[in-house]
Structure 1
Amino acid sequence: MAVNRVILALSAVAILVAPSAAATGTGTTFTVLQLNICHGGMAGCYRGDAVMHKAAEVIRLSKPQVLSVNEACSGDIDRLRPAMGPARALFAEARNLDGTPVLCRGGDGRYGNIIMVSAGFAGTTEESGIHAAQYTAADGIGELRSWACLPAARLSACTTHLSSDNAPTALAQCRELISRAARHPRPVFVAGDLNLRGQGVRDCDRGGFSRRGDGNVQYVFASDDVSFVRTDDIDMAGTTDHPGLLITGSR
């Protein structure tokens, strides 16, 4: 199936973004939004709270059923939830090498990943943890990478942010999470900044899933009962070093 990719500079008139999940004659349409907002304050891409305003705008206009946010702070859930609307949210903290939580700059709470699923599709089960494979020599800011999943009967979704300094570790983490997600009720989506490119991400492929990416390191994997319809890269106006990745699929 052909997939369209366009760069969207979201504004009040850019309501061309993929539709919300809705029953159609052929099934249900889903939208999945992947963001790396670089809001922890430790990396050079940090632009302060400007990214929070932009992220909220993108969420409001794209109306995703699944929202994956990397390099976020625990306090960001309450700031993004109004744009998302009623949703179940789960935060997975990264940890320092001594096991303590990594903290965001400026008192915004713990540093890690957020997964949200709209209330109409969310359940009550949640899972999160630290990847079994970790590159501890000098990975990023020295954190142990985390993952989070919200499995439910109507839709299951996971997020992660993989090792930035060691591709074999990132691949092991990717395979670990995809294998975990494969046990969840379908449809299943896994989104995140995988820090894998080319053959690296192809080596993470497994039966039962397909994927789309932003041409760099962000991807959305979907169980093979979902057909990809559209892929959009969203201009984040310099507030972070990654575009938004918006995927539309149908089942």
Structure 2
Amino acid sequence: MRRIVPLGRWVLLVLVVVFGVLGDAPAPAEAPPPAVAAGTAAKDFRLATPSTQVLPARVRATGRGAVSRTFRELQLNLCHGGIAPCGDDSTLPEIDALLRQLSGSRTPPDLITLNEVCRDDIARHLASSMADVWPADKVFFLFAPAVDGNRGGAMAPYPCADGDAYGNAVIGHVPDAQYHGLAGLYGTYTAQTADPEKRSFGCLYLARHYYACTTHLEVADRAVAMRQCVTLMIEVIPFLAGHEGGNLPTVVGADLNLRDGAESPQNVRHCVPAGYHRAGDGDVMHVMVSGDIGLARTDRFPLRHTDHNAFLVTMTMP
């Protein structure tokens, strides 16, 4: 049951923490990330229970495992809800082929942020594809559905054509010995249009490592998209970091439906907080990182079975 108590523009919230590992031995005995206490309030966004999962490593790693400072984030919009005509049955196999290509060239993604996907695309397919790339590591994911505005205030997921939940996702990996817990944060923005698809965000806190977020912003009204973007960057992420008790490197990958072109109030640069860096694909997909992360290079990979190319950003973690 989702525990949401609307209080005008302020709401009570729930932050769910994943301690155990599905199908694996219990997580290390140290204290995992704490849950948000009931009564905590947030402004300009509404929160609900996130859907997170951690998959066990497939093979036993030797040693304690190392976390490389070189970090790659892959941003994807798969247009795979089954309603718009831009995705098809070949979309997921095409992403599998891309992951094999990147792994074969020794540039596999450490983090994948995805928009316009169904939950089963992640839970039954792409999380396993990530595990194929990182078999000795735990693989984790968060799914953050858009909300169906036709269902009133119920926070019901917006549906894919087959009835599955439609929205956004984050997939990552971490060496077994470096896993210290996972927390997820999921919600919708106060600023929305009349479209029944209410835009959402999802964030993960990988304890001791980083925060990672994704979102898919409003397409029909760039002023609303900008308000949503500012809410994510200026309110949601600082709220999450404040609750977890410290600053960590932060990576945001998303289809923002905002561009960096002629100067205007809706130029994506106005959404980048002071101290952050941004890399864009020349269109609407962007990766923003906190100032302690160095951007090294960007690569774009043409995709035939969605209307957005894949956008890979290589960075250096502190």
TM-score range (shorter-chain normalised) is 0.7 to 0.9
Structure with larger RCO (C-alpha < 8 A, sep 6+):
1
Alignment partner, residue 159 of structure 1: 214
TM-score, structure 1 normalization: 0.82
Identity of aligned residues (%): 36
- 3-state secondary structure, aligned to 1:75: helix
* Structure 1 gaps, min length 5: 1-20
- Quick one: distance in 1 between partners of 2:100 and 2:72? 13
Alignment of 1:36-185 (within 5 A): 36-46=77-87, 48-62=88-102, 63-77=108-122, 78-85=124-131, 86-97=138-149, 98=151, 99-107=155-163, 109-120=164-175, 123-136=181-194, 139=195, 142-152=196-206, 153-179=208-234, 180-182=236-238, 184=241, 185=247
- 3-state SS of paired residue (2:162): helix
CA contact (8 A) 1:36 1:193 kept: yes
Question: Do the aligned residues in 1 keep the contact of 2:127 with 2:140 (CA within 8 Å)?
Answer: no
TM-score by length of 2: 0.66
Q: Which runs of 5+ in 2 are unaligned?
A: 1-65, 103-107, 132-137, 242-246
Aligned positions, number: 220
Where 1:230 maps in the other structure, the secondary structure is: strand
The structure with the largest alpha-carbon Rg is: 2
* SS of corresponding position for 1:102: coil
In the aligned structure 2, how far is the partner of 1:132 from the partner of 1:186?
26
Aligned-partner residue type, residue 41 of structure 1? G
Q: Aligned residue for 1:12?
A: none
Give the equivalent residue in structure 2 for 1:241: 307
Cα shift at 1:82: 1.9
Q: Distance in 2 between matches of 1:219 and 1:143?
A: 21
Paired residue secondary structure (1:225): coil
Give, in whole Å, the separation in 1 of the partners of 2:312 and 2:248.
Answer: 20
In the alignment, which residue of structure 1 is the partner of 2:284? 217
**Structure 1 vs Structure 2 CA RMSD:** 1.7
Partner of 2:298: 231
Task: Give 1:163 deviation, angstroms.
Answer: 0.2
